[in-house]
Amino acid sequence: MDNQIIKFRNWEIASRRKLSLRLWGILCILTYIALSTWAGVGVRGTDQYWYVTETAIAELGLGMKSNSIYPTAWLDPPLGRGSLDLQPPIHNVPVLHLAHFLNQLVGDSYKSWLFLNIFLTIGSSVFVYLITRLFTQEKSAWIALILFILNPLTLWLTLNPLSETFHVFMCLMLVYVLIRQQSLRLWDVSLSALILTVLLLSRSNWI
């Protein structure tokens, strides 16, 4: 009888610790969302301007175009000699189309990127948890999730409308699909091929 009581108390203590860690993980995710929405005030330079303006141009009904015209484009197709038509987008990648779709709902070219990055980062943190859980106990998996979601670099990438958060999400998904089973099934191979195709369309130097 005493052994059963001891076992029950140990189980109760372990359950409380697991619940506490899960609550900490959820709290960290909510903290990340709050920090992202508070600090997400606009673009900060570099390629971010292209990504945001290309999303804004699509919102105007002009299609996927870029407002950047280089001197060489004045003489060469697709603009044609002496033409000032908008040229194709500089970053015609899958994540740009996702941001454009979200922008249809949000109506703000920067915030659509911000919300998309938040969603992708939370998804990435889930894959970090799942991958770690395959090799270790639940406690370590939650710690890995917390370290990832509260990493300053994670927050910085979220605030900037760039494609890196999408790449991280897709790469983590690929790793999880490849290692979750001892032997790959046809479904796993097909899904991995699809993910690799999307990554190659996102950046050719993934080859």
pLDDT given at position 91 = 77
Q: What pLDDT, on a 0 to 100 scale, did the predictor assign at position 76?
A: 52
Give pLDDT tens digits along the chain (207 positions): 545 555 445 444 455 556 678 888 899 999 999 999 999 988 887 788 888 888 877 777 766 777 665 555 545 555 444 444 666 777 788 898 899 889 888 888 899 999 999 999 999 999 999 999 999 988 899 999 999 999 999 999 999 999 999 999 999 999 999 998 777 788 888 898 999 999 988 877 665
8 Å CB contact between 178 and 188? yes
Give the helix ranges, DSSP H, for the chain: 2-39, 48-59, 94-106, 109-133, 138-149, 152-159, 164-179, 186-202
Phi-psi sector, 184: left (phi>0), alpha (psi -120 to 50), beta: beta
Least Cα distance to 164 among 102, 107, 91 occurs for 91
Tokens of 76: 């060469």
User: Which amino acid belongs to residue 86?
Assistant: L
Q: What is residue 39's predicted lDDT score, i.e. its pLDDT?
A: 93
